[in-house]
Structure 1
Amino acid sequence: CKLEQQACLASKQLTVRCEGQCPCPTPHSPAGDSKQELCTGQDLADLGDRLRDWFQLLRENAKQNGSGGLPASPTSALERSVAATCKEAVGWMFARLDTSGDLFLEAAELAAINLDKYEVCIRAFFNSCDTSKDGRVSAPEWCFCFWREKPPCLRELEKIQIQEATKKKLGTFIPSCDEDGYYRRAQCEPGGGECWCVDQHGAELTGTRGH
């Protein structure tokens, strides 16, 4: 019920994509694959979106109940410091988790988000947040992790889907993306038409067009 309530507030529509754990298996990543193979760049971006929605729900509940359900931050100065670099519920959750008040999340503090049973990519997600590879997540690393952009090819596909759903633009070229959401090197028109090469961000390489 809480999930449906938050989806309504965020103007999102919920559907059951698959049974079992997230992320859903794909034709290229069957259910029997290892966790590392399951967690693509797209999976991590989608997980960040789900966690951000969950943090928002916890924050709203905390406002109503006067409690966040997690240990409170030791000082309001911490929240002000994180709020300067983080946005809304993401910064709020960092302050709740950072029980030591040192503006770093250690493994024990991250363990308070106990979602391993439901999200097989949760460890890979937090590992990806630790860009300095020092075994802990700083406030800037935490914020960037939740507000990073989706890979360019995946972002283009989502834009095309929205345009076609609203009938704003039909007959658009649909790019070929790799499992991490970037452009595949070879792009071709449908039906065996013209092909060309691009870099991972979709920029066409000069002199590569041909049939």
Structure 2
Amino acid sequence: MKLLLLLLAGLLCLVPTFAEEELSDFDLDELVDDDFGESAEEMLRQLEQKNQKNDLERENELANKFAAEARDQQNNVLQPVVEIDPCEKMHCGAGRVCQLNDNEAKCVCIPECPEEPDARRHVCTNRNETWLSDCAVYQQRCLCDTNAPGCLKPENSHVHIDYYGPCHEKRECSEEDMKDFPRRMRDWLFNVMRDLAERDELTEHYMQMELEAETNMTRRWTNAAVWKWCDLDGDTDRSVSRHELFPIRAPLVSLEQCIAPFLESCDSNNDHRITLVEWGACLELDETDLNERCDDIHRNTPQLLG
């Protein structure tokens, strides 16, 4: 019995880290009454388990503390400030560039255009004037539109490109040719529409219109005219600028001497924009039908092709 008590005293000396409440869990009287070998083994096992549990809890506590400190330190580190250029979201038209003024984005006329020594980069305007580049034309339009220094003449605010390359000698459009031009223009639009349909380059809605034009002669010219008009009217404001008519004018100007005067005549109020009503009148088409069909296209095909 004395030996057992001495053993217990020795074990208590070896485990000084235990708190008093942990040691109170053990009843020495009960240990004395138990079988000596079995009690000593069980006591050692329990002491070891409690010691491991305390060590684990302490390690977890320290780990959580260190992790929190690391997070706080990381949050306190100054993050690099990424400045967003206001000009990135600013869309400026042709001949204009975005410029910052007191951190405010503003579109201004392009200050300088690159030189274009290659004659193939020259352009011919609606006034049959050859300019060194399209950039030079757009820059001039901007300067005259804003009454800025560098504007050569006020009417240049509405100058636009007829085609690329130096100007050719202008051919006169006779009165007889001009009279027949709307019919030839309608035929040309339909042939282009048919060609794109055969190459499967039209949207589904346009394909349906082309099929209708093939089977219904009364819809042939109207559908073709509406197709190209709605294609050009990208902002759906029912008016097309002279510049927006470039895809029609450029491929025909060297072949059709009447295309330029025809498009000029379509702008009946001389506001430098051709409305849908003016377009239909020039092509001798029904105005009401044009409006209805264009509405239908804009509802069904938000992204136009052709």
Fold match (TM-score > 0.5): no
Structure showing the higher helix proportion among its residues? 2
Q: Taking CA–CA contacts closer than 8 Å with sequence separation of 6 or more, which of the two structures ends up with the larger relative contact order?
A: 1
TM-score range normalised by the length of the shorter chain: 0.3 to 0.5
TM (norm. structure 1) is: 0.42
TM (norm. structure 2) is: 0.30
Which entry has the higher C-alpha Rg, 1 or 2?
Answer: 2
Structure showing the higher strand proportion among its residues? 2
